[in-house]
Amino acid sequence: MQSMLIIAFLSCQLSSMTDARNSMTQGKEVQKLAWAGAGGMELGNMLSPSLCAPSDDAARCVPLALDAARAMLSALTGPVVATAGAAAAAAAGLDQLTVGVHLASSAAAQDVAMPQIRDYATHVYVDAIHRVAATGAPRAPPQHEVEACLAFLFRFMPLGDKDTLLVTFIAETVGLALAARYSMPWGLSVPWHIFLNDVLPYSSLTEPRERWRPLFYTYYGSIPDLVNNSAGPLDLVGAETWMNTNGWAIRTPRIVFKADPNPVGVWDYDPFSVLFNGYASCTGLSIFLVSAMRSIGLPARVAGTPHWNLGPSVCPLGDQSPDCGNHDWVEAWAHDGWAFVDEAGNTVLNTSWFVPDWSGHQSPGGLNHSIFAASWANSSFIVEEYGGDSDPLAMPYAYFPMVWNWTIKTNSGWDVTSRYLLFS
């Protein structure tokens, strides 16, 4: 398994655990914290089968998970960015400043803070390109690109994130996204507006916000077969198919599909939860793969349909029939437009079990039976500002429908049904 450099130092304290269920949750959270700063250990050792699984006896399993998490934490020795950058951020109070407070402050206060936020992003960038030995990348990211990335994330950030996320989290996101753009062989082939909307963002849907980018960038960005192939550098399509085939082996045993594994729904399907469990439903796998691809500069987004429209012979109860439930998958941008990715590990883009037999029954312009793709920015803004998202058949949609909670309309979207009908 690929060995990685140390990205960050995190410490945490374990509160007393009142029962076995709380103990397992604590073990999981500690390990997620460790992964957020991990880099120095082989993931095969970090993610051994002895760690907790839902079927394990908690009294036996939890101590193993906690011990493994503590060992990882104690082995982490490096700060998230160069010491000078971290110290400067702390001195300026950035490590306590939420995005919402920053944006609500006076123009003068924002003018003072912005250079410091830019400097933090630059420190992250410089540290990142050294970690994957990216000798061809510029020594520092262009300042105007850092500012554009910060402005783009701030403008379209969900309101709840503004209240909770720190500006250092956003600066780290920007620094690592730009590092991927300049250090990966395919990075600069991605149009700028596609990079902003489908590489830069730190989330796909409503999943908990996690610092997955340092770990994924260092891990995937250091795999020779992916970024330094002996047969020549991979292009976007080659890298995307490689990730869908091999990216699931980041842990042992590799991540697999499991239908509806958690009654809580996608709230627990952040990338680190999928990494910890080793399985997820289609939504969790989609969020994981999108995050992994974005970490190394590959444009990706979640797509899906609320319900398949297969007719009464297959689904006598209509949308209530199990076979007509929702499904989510990944779309990746591949030079001339968007292609769908089957998380089953298919090595060819635009091939899947649901196309054309199932997708051919969907209809554009609706809700339950249309196919949608998620967008970080308001999709109408992308049309007005950039002329679209490289899909002439896509129609802006106010939100990405989430069948597990119809009331959530925080994520913008595209109606992409017409593109899928072309395969029918």
Cα(303)–Cα(375) distance, integer angstroms: 10
pLDDT computed for residue 242 by the predictor: 93
How many other CB atoms sit within 10 Å of the CB of residue 191? 16
pLDDT tens figures, 65-124: 444 443 443 333 233 555 566 777 887 788 899 999 999 999 999 999 999 999 999 999
Cα(411)–Cα(379) distance, integer angstroms: 10
Cα(34)–Cα(76) distance, integer angstroms: 8
How many other CB atoms sit within 10 Å of the CB of residue 20? 14
Domain ranges of the chain: 20-75, 83-183, 217-421
Q: Helices then strands (H, E): number in the chain?
A: 17, 8
CA distances from 405 to 152, 282, 308, 365, 379 (A): 27, 16, 17, 20, 21
Average pLDDT, the chain: 81
Residues of the chain with confidence (pLDDT) below 50: 1-24, 38-79, 264-266
Q: Which residues contact 411 (CB under 8 A, 6 or more apart)?
A: 158, 204, 205, 206, 374, 375, 399, 400, 402
pLDDT computed for residue 28 by the predictor: 55
Q: Which residues contact 239 (CB under 8 A, 6 or more apart)?
A: 184, 185, 186, 226, 296, 298
pLDDT tens figures, 20-30: 334 445 555 55
pLDDT tens figures, 177-223: 999 999 999 999 999 999 999 999 999 999 989 888 988 898 899 88
The model carries a pTM of 0.85
CATH for 217-421 (1.10.3470, 3.10.620, 1.10.150, 3.20.16)? 3.10.620
